[in-house]
Amino acid sequence: MTVATDGLAPFPCNGCGKCCQLVGRSVETAWLDRGDGACRHFDEASRGCTIYASRPLVCRVQDYYVQHLAERLPWPEFVKINLEICASL
Ligand code: SF4
Ligand code: SF4
């Protein structure tokens, strides 16, 4: 089954930047850790990503979902799970 990202509702990220400051917690993002748990590409002042346009796949929520999870998990369920994780950070 192939799922196109343009068929998915956008992930409702509020841009809080918490996930970018906790990359050290996950084995999938630990390689981005600048040494204090936060991503080396996170900008404290803007709370944004300095490489947003070219950020890695693991940071591209919809693209990551399509490539790794779409065949196992409906998008709304994936969004719900991830919003719960966001709220727990
Ligand atoms: S923690 Fe969730 S809401 Fe905050 S920036 Fe990351 S994905 Fe967006
Ligand atoms: S690369 Fe960008 S989007 Fe990904 S964790 Fe780092 S700051 Fe966040």
Domain boundaries, the chain: 15-88
Q: What is the pLDDT of residue 7?
A: 80
Q: What is the pLDDT of residue 2?
A: 47
Of 14, 13, 30, 11, the residue nearest 22 (C-alpha): 30
Q: What is the pLDDT of residue 80?
A: 97
Residue 67 · residue 37 · CB < 8 Å: no
Ligand 2 binding pocket (C-beta < 6 A) is 20, 23, 32, 39, 41-42, 49, 51, 55-56, 59
Q: What is the pLDDT of residue 4?
A: 59
Ligand 1 contact, 62 CB (< 6 A): no
pLDDT tens by residue, the chain, 89 residues: 445 566 889 999 999 999 999 999 999 999 999 999 999 999 999 999 999 999 999 999 999 999 999 999 999 999 999 999 999 99
